[in-house]
Amino acid sequence: MLAGQCTLLSKAIIRHNQATGEKAINLKGYMVGNALTDDYHDYLGLFQFWWSAGLISDDTYKQLKLLCDYESFIHPSCTASVSQSNRLLKRMHVVGHASEKYDPCTEKHSVVYFNQPEVQKALHVIPAVALAKWETCRWHQQHALMIFFIFTALQWGVVNNNWLDSPRIVLDIYHELIHSGLRIWMFSGDTDAVIPVTSARYSIDALNLPTVKPWRAWWDDGPKRLTLVTVRGADHEVPLHRPKPALTLIKSFLSGRSMPCLERVSLSDS
């Protein structure tokens, strides 16, 4: 499932349970990684990350801030600046780590795997549905992976920005889910150039939740069951590029524990 849709599915489950008085699905919480949360803050953090990471020039960054409407997915006024960003970034693999050898078949592995008859049988796929070829997210048609839209919209010429089931902001839903008692972890790779950690931090700040404990290495144990975890050196697909820390992240969440924290070393002890 796409990261951003986890929040919408969780809302549907919680509301169904509340309406029926039964827990048809006993949802305790969920994890969401590098997810779209709020268009305005997502774009604000995205452009800031590009600039702070040295991926775009000062002039391009100024133009993006001046001309682009953060409330809109593609806005005519920022076409020229986006085009400039595209020229600067088109040779970069924005999803993977810059130091890694790029596997051009990465996005095709799951397609091959999930179209195997034995795999579909194990997943109890309805035979009538199995006749159609399984595909990954149609990111070129959806709002979810906005960065790819920005880089290539000018070449394609057509952008579908009228998805009625894709809200531009889900901060109100987070408030609802937190109030319901769900345990929510948001994690973000700190080198992701698709939906960067700067976007996540802006969106979380917009929730206006009180901070009970200050930020510290490995984990930020927030109030009311919302936790932000950043993974050093990870990109948009955290488990793919940083599997060991990702495993620690998942184990900690499923066991109900906080992330293992690094002990502070006193200068007087050295």
In this prediction, residue 133 carries a pLDDT of 81
Supply the pLDDT for residue 86. 54
pLDDT at 55: 80
**Spatial contact of 85 and 50, defined as CB atoms under 8 Å apart:** yes
93, exposed or middle or buried, with CB in 10 Å at 0-12, 13-18, 19+?
Answer: middle
Q: What pLDDT is recorded for position 258?
A: 78
Q: Supply the pLDDT for residue 105.
A: 67
Cβ within 8 Å of residue 180, ≥6 positions away: 14, 18
Q: What pLDDT shows up at residue 148?
A: 44
What fold does the segment set 3-39+170-255 form as a domain?
A: Rossmann fold (3.40.50)
Instruction: Kindly give the pairing relationship between strand 226-231 and strand 29-33.
Output: unpaired
Global confidence as pTM: 0.65
157, 74 in Cβ contact below 8 A? no
The one-letter amino acid at 30 = Y
In contact, 96 and 241? CB cutoff 8 Å: yes
Could you tell me whether strands 29-33 and 183-189 are parallel, antiparallel, or unpaired per DSSP bridges?
parallel
SS (H, E, C) 142-203: CCCCHHHHHHHHHHHCCCCCCCCCCCCECHHHHHHHHHHCCEEEEEEECCCCCCCHHHHHHH
Could you list the pLDDT tens digit for every one of the 270 residues in the chain? 446 678 888 999 999 999 999 888 899 999 888 888 888 888 889 889 888 888 888 888 888 888 776 655 455 556 556 555 655 555 554 545 555 566 666 667 888 888 898 998 898 888 776 667 887 765 444 444 444 444 444 333 444 455 555 677 889 999 999 999 998 888 888 888 888 889 989 998 999 888 766 776 664 444 446 788 888 777 777 887 788 888 888 888 888 877 777 654 444 544
- pLDDT at residue number 74: 54
